[in-house]
Structure 1
Amino acid sequence: MALELRQQLKLAQKLVMTPQLRQAIKLLQLNRLDLSTALQAEIEQNPALEIETSAEDGQDEPSYSLSTTAEPDRTNAPETDFTPLLAASDALPDTNWEEYANNFDSNFSFSKETPPADAPSQFDFISEKPGLSAYLQWQLAHSELDEREWEIALYIVGNLNRYGFLETTLEDIIENTNCTFDEADYLLEVVQELDPPGIAARNVSESLKLQLERINMGKSLAAQIVTDHLNLLETRNYKMLSRLTGRKKSEIVEAINFITANLTPFPGLPYAEEATNYIVPDVYVEKIDGEYVIKLNDDDLPKLKVSSYYQDLLQATTPTTTKESKTYIADKVKSAEWFIRSIHQRQRTIYRVMESILRFQHDFFDNGPAALKPLILRDVAEDIGMHESTISRVTSNKYAHTPQGIIELKYFFSTAIPREGGDALAAESIKTRIRQMIQEEDKTKPLSDSAIAELLADRNIQLARRTVAKYREQMKIPPVKHRRQTN
């Protein structure tokens, strides 16, 4: 049978993802911060999309705003504005930078002139927080090191991880800096004598030992425990520690209490150069006059409109306007209108999803996590007449500010744990009960996973010990041997 190429006509139905549909889906998945970035990027790319800055301009133009406290009427009423207008007076006042000049007058004295209490400091304008490496280099700069020793010390500092531990060996230091063993060992001691105590150690045991030596406790019982019996310290095995050290249990307990209260296993962690990522809620749920009110977050989000200038150009018939120009303007105006509708639809969808969650999880907003009910995406999808994939996109990476705190929307969806003779419970609700049991337990006789399973069985909640252990690990609660304390 010979192979040949030929043309053939075929009819088929398929779903085509247009650029506009892709954009709408992408906007639906964005969280509050990413949405603000996407708005600014679209405004920069599309000249037909503008920010409305006054209530008088553009009353009859397609526009978009974000905030609402009531679901808009989807049948007859027009779309409700969601964000207040940005007033021109909101702009920052001009700053007199001469007031903040970095001047150092030799004749200036605080004894003669005291700046106002609310005057900004020059240090308020430092953009980057110094990290561990910069802090150690600043201390080394005040040490009496020659150029050769300075290079070796910098190599050691450069090989510290975020916890402050040395991630290289003396052999590597010698090989890469062409120094002797005595020089490498000496410079390592110099770095270990810097602040914070315990820095440049090879492991947790050495770090704790260095901290004890700094306070003249290098030969104490605590130093013996962290050096030779760190694994027993982690499990708080007082009986074995007493047997191996030959000391009384009360002395062991006192030494361990001192270690946990005054030493840190990771001395470099407070200086880690990591920016704090703050969660900005996408929607607020507030209780007003006994009823919950939903309001979308409208902070710093502008009100958008289609440029009237480009609309006039599109309608104008001048000899200088080419066909290509009109096509370009028409595409930009159409893209701006679609973008505005997509943003508006996104906000309405988030509102409706949050409204449905509020109906299903009303007891949670009143009583907290223990009252959380089983809920799946299909329940919300059927309630508001949308597809499950849409609900999944809406609830991903979005947060709600509720009377119970800032909570991710995904949190409200939990699998059901059946109960005999009672309503099913959500997995998160059971986790809350387990956490409460552990918080209320006798610290000298903590509850094991089996004991927790038995207590839950008494409350008609049947869980296997392995399931209890899995929930405990998900909540980052240590096992019973690490929670045990002695008087």
Structure 2
Amino acid sequence: MSAEIRQDLRLTQQLVMTPQLQMAIKLLQLSRLDLIQQLHQELEQNPVLEQTLDTEKGNLQETPAGLAADDTENRKDNTGDIDWQTYIEEHAEASRIRHGFESGEEEETESDLSLTKKTTLTDHLTWQLHLSDFTPKETDIGTLIIGNIDENGYLMITVEEIASEMNINKDEVEAVLKKIQQFDPVGIAARDIKECILIQATFLPDKNRVIIEEIVNKHLNDLEKKNYKKIAKALNVHISRVIDAVKVISHLEPRPGRAFGEDESQVIIPDVYIQKVGNDYVILLNEDGLPKLRISPYYRDMLAKNGSASDNVKSYIQERLRSAVWLIKSIHQRQRTIYRVAESIVKFHREFMDNGIGFLKPLILRDVARDIGMHESTVSRVTTNKYAHTPQGIFELKYFFNSGISKDDGSNIAAESVKERIRKLISSENPKKPLSDQKISKLLKGSGIDIARRTVAKYREAIRIFSSSERRVRF
């Protein structure tokens, strides 16, 4: 059989991660402070971008957010000749950021801008994630895991929930989680205090690690009660070895993530305000402090003349102009997405907005993603490091996403609501006779919430409340 050379024409679809798309994704997941810093950096690097002054407000068009994005959605991103006059006229005015809080206080803006950028726990873990030997799929799993680690370093959702969100086997999630638990800081991504200690124990010398693992795995109750003699007898070792192990445990970090948040306290400025007006809720984006951007009139005039600049200069300005338009488009898209997610959250959590944490319902990313017609990963990005000012206080948007527990009447109650009930029960207990986890379980079951003692213990640890024996000692 002779070799044959043929040409085949095949039509395929694939997503190309262009620099513009990378920019859009990056802006979407930035916090408010990081966004402001990013925009100032773009202003320094791109001469085509220009920041308007407050005195120019009267010249700004009241264009709905996203108009520039919509107008450029289908424009071909080629490097060929461009009708500069039409191109510039279309984007010169529309490519400006509309601010919903024109009358915001300058003091708040200056305070926001003067805050120094600090590496967050999420940044630190994500950096390690991308330096590790992960497949693209494992990186996606790792990103979701890291996005659900709280400020103290604990994983706040279960492996089963992550597997369900990504429609994968939970063993795949567990494998990635085990790798992330080897990241710095030591003890990160644990699901409870016990696991946090055990993770840290793996980094200890063998002579300490073995006995500590034995104590934590099998004698945690005796450890809490300081019953060292009983532990020594059970392990068949001298009590001095137990005391030495306890000293090591006392120096382990119960909150491995706090090193990334205790050096400075920053005032949280909400990204969105949710206010009740009559019987309805109004959502207002807080764009105060965000630089107002537009295409520089100087470069607009230079390109409009279409002959006074060399080809190299035109090519450079063309590339910078394209980058500027994409930046403004991405900002509009970011703000519009935050608004839509907040709007959906209000729809699902109307009772919470009216009555408080006790009325929070179970909600997962998929629910909101389907409601607004976006991908779950987009919702995940937009809810991280974004805050909402609600009638019940200021909350991170990701706070509204949590699992549920079944009630006797067949309905579900959010895990955060159950944690709040546990907190209230403990706050009103008799200090001399603190409630045990079993007693709390019975009290909640009396309210129609079917919850096991082990789950009560898990939630109690999640809200950083000591066991009944430790609470009794403290008083």
TM-score (norm 2): 0.56
User: By how many angstroms is 1:56 displaced?
Assistant: 5.4
Give the structure 1 partner of residue 456 of structure 2. Answer: 468
Mark the CA change 1:8 to 1:396 in structure 2 (over 3 Å): closer, same or farther: farther
Structure with the largest fraction of helix: 2
Deviations 1:192-231 (A, max 9, x none): xxxxxxxxxxxxxxxxxxxxxxxxxxxxxxxxxxxxxxx9
Residues 456 and 370 of structure 1, relative CA distance in 2, 3 Å threshold? same
Give distance in 2, aligned partners of 1:486 and 1:343: 51
Determine if contact 1:64/1:344 at 8 Å carries over to the other structure: no
> Which residue does 1:39 correspond to in 2?
39
Does residue 29 of structure 1 match 2:46?
no
1:81 matched residue in structure 2? 98
CA–CA distance in structure 2, aligned partners of residues 325 and 58 of structure 1: 33
**What's the counterpart of residue 333 of structure 1?**
321
Question: Which amino acid in structure 2 is aligned with residue 286 of structure 1?
Answer: Q
RMSD value, Cα: 3.8
Cα displacement string for residues 348-394 of structure 1 (whole angstroms, at most 9, x for unaligned residues):
11011101101110111121111000111111111111111111111
Match of 1:314 in 2: 303
Q: Could you tell me how far apart the structure 1 residues matched to 2:467 and 2:474 are? A: 16
Matched, 1:344 2:332: yes
Q: Which amino acid aligns with 1:411?
A: Y
Residue 442 of structure 1: SS of its match in structure 2?
Answer: coil
Q: Quickly say closer, same or farther: Cα 1:403–1:83, change in 2 above 3 A.
A: closer
Match among 439, 454, 465 for residue 427 of structure 2: 439
Residue from 302, 305, 321 that aligns with 2:294: 305
Fraction of identical pairs, as percent:
52
Whether the aligned pair in 2 keeps the contact of 1:83 and 1:302 (CA below 8 Å) is no
Whether 2:442 is the aligned partner of 1:454: answer yes
Give the Cα–Cα distance (whole angstroms) in 1 for the partners of residues 47 and 20 of structure 2.
17
Q: 1:460 Cα shift?
A: 1.6
Render the CA deviation track for 1:79-133: whole Å, top value 9, x for unaligned: 993246699x99x9xxxxxxxxxxxxxxxxxxxxxxxxxxxxxxxxxx9xxxxxx
Q: Give the distance between the partners of 2:326 and 2:435, measured in 1 at CA.
A: 58
**Which residue of the partner structure matches residue 162 of structure 2?**
none
Q: 1:379 to 1:479 in 2, by over 3 A?
A: same
In structure 2, how many angstroms separate the alpha carbons of the residues matched to 1:391 and 1:275? 29
Partner residue, 1:423: 411
Kept in 1, the 8 Å contact 2:404–2:412? The answer is yes
Alpha-carbon distance between aligned partners in 1 of 2:310 and 2:35, rounded to the nearest angstrom: 35
CA 1:461/1:340 → structure 2, altered by over 3 Å: closer, same or farther? same
Instruction: Choose from 262, 265, 278 the match for 2:267.
Output: 278
Residue 14 of structure 2 corresponds to 14
The structure-2 alpha-carbon separation of the partners of 1:60 and 1:235, relative to structure 1 and needing over 3 Å to count, comes to closer
Q: Which one is further off, 446-455 or 286-295?
A: 286-295
The one-letter code matched in structure 1 to 2:312 is E
How far has the Cα of 1:325 moved from its partner? Answer: 0.8
1:49 deviation in Å?
0.7
TM-score, reference length from structure 1: 0.55
Q: Hey, what's the Cα distance between the residues in 2 that align with 1:302 and 1:422?
A: 50
- Is contact 1:64-1:305 (8 Å) kept? no
TM-aligned CA distance change 1:58 to 1:342, over 3 Å: farther
Query: SS at the partner of 2:411?
Result: strand
Alpha-carbon distance in structure 2 between the residues aligned to 1:42 and 1:13: 32
| Distance verdict in 2 for CA 1:355–1:273, change over 3 Å | closer
2:168 corresponds in structure 1 to: none
- For 2:352, the equivalent position in structure 1 comes to 364
Aligned partners of 1:63 and 1:340 also within 8 Å = no
**What does 1:76-475 align with in structure 2 at a 5 Å threshold?**
81-83=98-100, 274-318=263-307, 320-475=308-463
Sort the Cα spacing of 1:333 and 1:401 in 2 relative to 1 into closer, same or farther, 3 A: same
Contact 1:52 / 1:86 at 8 angstroms: preserved in 2?
A: no
**Which structure 1 residue ranges, 5 or more long, are not aligned?**
1-5, 67-77, 93-126, 128-230, 238-271
SS in structure 2 of the partner of residue 328 of structure 1: helix
The residue type equivalent to 2:463 in the other structure is M
Counterpart CA distance in 1 for 2:103 and 2:274 is 24
The whole-number CA distance in structure 2 between the counterparts of 1:60 and 1:298 is 15
Shift of 1:290: 4.7
Amino acid at match of 2:15: L
Is 1:482 the counterpart of 2:462? The answer is no
Instruction: Give the whole-Å Cα distance in 1 for the aligned partners of 2:363 and 2:22.
Output: 29
* Cα-to-partner distance string for 1:280-326 (whole Å, 9 max, x where unaligned): 221112234453222222232121111111111112133x5211111
Q: Match for 1:467: what amino acid?
A: T
Aligned partners of 1:34, 1:399: CA distance in 2, in Å? 14
Q: Give the Cα separation in 2 of the matches to 1:350 and 1:383.
A: 14
Contact 1:63 1:304 in 2 (8 A): no
1:337 counterpart letter in structure 2: V
The match for 1:134 is none
Aligned counterparts of 1:235 and 1:7: Cα–Cα separation in 2? 79
User: What is the total number of aligned residue pairs between the two structures?
Assistant: 302
Q: Provide the secondary structure at the position in 2 that maps to 1:338.
A: helix
Decide whether aligned partners of structure 1 residues 62 and 37 sit closer, same or farther in structure 2, where only a CA change above 3 A counts: farther
CA distance in 2, matches of 1:63, 1:325: 31
Residue 456 of structure 1 aligns with an amino acid whose one-letter code is L
SS at match of 1:341: helix
Q: Could you tell me whether the CA contact under 8 Å between 1:62 and 1:337 is conserved in 2?
A: no
Shift in Å, 1:332: 1.3
Amino acid at match of 1:300: G
Task: From the CA coordinates, give the structure whose radius of gyration is larger.
Answer: 1
Cα offset for 1:405?
1.6
Please state whether the residue corresponding to 2:270 is helix, strand or coil: coil
**Helix, strand or coil for the counterpart of 1:378?**
helix
* Contact 1:398 1:408 (C-alpha < 8 Å) held by counterparts: yes
Residue deviations 1:162-203, cap 9 Å, x none? xxxxxxxxxxxxxxxxxxxxxxxxxxxxxxxxxxxxxxxxxx
Asked whether the 8 Å contact 1:64–1:82 carries over to 2, the reply is no
Do the aligned partners of residues 410 and 309 (structure 1) sit closer, same or farther apart at CA in structure 2, a change above 3 Å counting? same
Distance 2:386 2:54 in 1: 30
Equivalent pair of 1:49/1:306 in contact (CA under 8 Å): yes
Partner of 2:166: none
